[in-house]
Amino acid sequence: MIAERTLRAALDRGILTVPQAEALRVLEAELDAAAPAVPISHDDERLRFITGFGDIFVTIGLGLFLTALSYFADRTLSLPAGWAAIAAASWLLAEYFTRRRRMALPSIVLLIVFAGSVMAAASLLLTGSTGGWLFGFANAPHGLELAGAGVATLAAVTLHYARFHVPITIAAGAAALVAIIVGLAGALIPALAEGPSPLLLILCGLGVFALAMAFDMSDPHRETRRTDIAFWLHLLAAPLIVHPLFNGLTGDASSGGVPVWPVLIAFLLLGAVAVLIDRRALLVSGLVYAGYAFGALVRSSGLTGLETPLTLLVLGGFVLLLSAAWHPLRRAVLSVLPPGLAGRLPRP
């Protein structure tokens, strides 16, 4: 890794020209993107969230600065212009903290703020709203407006990835693509104008899951940044699949007719998929629904008043037991798979 001070000294002494120094920075970013993100242990699903306490310190500063900036932007600019200003500030801050310092957690936060700000600004412009898309959903975009905002966000995060190569950016682009699909469906199908159908969200989630698996299976040893990209895609796919699936199973929970066993069986099936691909996002996303179903089972057994402690006890024990048995379970599952498929999945 070429230190920034070395490049500046080379520029000052005439050893390098400005274009040559910039070309070296670009080359270093490309090589860094292809190199291992972090040492990957087969015992853990490790990711590079922080490189030191400095990441946390900078992230706190970013939160304070961007919060104050949003306040002054709200008082001096229109809402779309205010969100555009926050997006521009996030990009400029990323030029230093992401491109030069390569700080992991600040880079993730700045990307999320950038993508969310672009989405908000585009939505407000397309709806002609003057108030509160993110703070009150009375003027939330629908149909073509949502699709248009998704297109703007997708274009923005594509440029962001070309510049900064932050792994979470691929998931942000996938989320924008989901917004485009949902918006177009709402515009073309009147029945979906008020909101996407659970089936559509599940299909979008499965598409994101397939993309995540493509990254995962291209790096079965989890030695490159592709594993970080896959992690964020799995984190996006999980709620898109799990939430509409379990909502469809539970229906109107207030009526008390919760189908306990279908929910628990679906949760166990998701757990089996999580063990197979060595990703825990699906399992974590289903924990709330499994807890709700188990609580209903406790109530139906007559143990009224013990639903919460018993549910927490059972779910906590299940998570701890599964964590302890994770690798033996994976070895058992992979041993019965065809060698070609097992070889493309992470080894326990």
Q: How do residues 323-345 score in pLDDT, each as one tens digit? A: 888 888 888 888 888 888 888 88
Identify the DSSP state of 254. Answer: G
C-alpha dihedral sign at 11, 15, 17, 21: negative
Predicted pLDDT at 341: 82
Predicted pLDDT at 33: 52
Q: How do residues 289-307 score in pLDDT, each as one tens digit? A: 888 788 877 877 777 777 7
C-alpha to C-alpha distance for 33 and 215, rounded to whole angstroms = 14
C-alpha to C-alpha distance for 100 and 85, rounded to whole angstroms = 22
Identify the DSSP state of 41. Answer: P
C-alpha to C-alpha distance for 46 and 44, rounded to whole angstroms = 5
Apex 104 CA angle, 99 and 105, nearest 5: 120
pLDDT exceeds 50 at position 39: no
Predicted pLDDT at 204: 95
Q: Is the whole model's pTM more than 0.75, yes or no? A: yes
CA 153 to chain centre: 15
- Residue 59 confidence class, pLDDT cut points 50, 70, 90: very high
- Average pLDDT for 252-266: 65
Predicted pLDDT at 31: 64
> Residue 219 is encoded by which pair of tokens?
């790096």
Q: How do residues 120-136 score in pLDDT, each as one tens digit? A: 999 988 887 655 444 43
DSSP of 143-165, one letter per residue? THHHHHHHHHHHHHHHHHHHHH-
C-alpha to C-alpha distance for 277 and 123, rounded to whole angstroms = 36
For the ranges 77-86, 141-150, 217-226, the one whose mean pLDDT is highest: 77-86
- Mean pLDDT for the chain? 83
pLDDT exceeds 70 at position 141: no
**Length of the chain measured in residues:** 348
Predicted pLDDT at 26: 72
CA 346 to chain centre: 21
Least confident of 199-203, 244-248, 257-261: 257-261
- Average pLDDT for 310-335: 88
- Average pLDDT for 145-155: 94
Predicted pLDDT at 133: 40
Predicted pLDDT at 98: 93
Predicted pLDDT at 132: 47
- Average pLDDT for 107-124: 94
- Residue 280 confidence class, pLDDT cut points 50, 70, 90: confident
C-alpha to C-alpha distance for 182 and 142, rounded to whole angstroms = 9
Predicted pLDDT at 29: 66
Least confident of 166-175, 176-185, 186-195: 186-195
> Residue 276 is encoded by which pair of tokens?
């197979």
Residues in Cβ contact with 215 at an 8 Å cutoff, skipping those fewer than 6 apart: 226, 227, 229, 230, 233
Predicted pLDDT at 60: 95
- Average pLDDT for 274-278: 89
C-alpha to C-alpha distance for 339 and 65, rounded to whole angstroms = 53
- Average pLDDT for 244-253: 69
Are 87 and 118 contacting, i.e. CB atoms less than 8 angstroms apart? yes
Sequence-separated contacts (24+) of 188-197 with Cβ below 8 Å: 193/142, 193/143, 194/142
pLDDT exceeds 50 at position 253: no
CA distances from 330 to 103, 223, 337 (A): 33, 19, 11
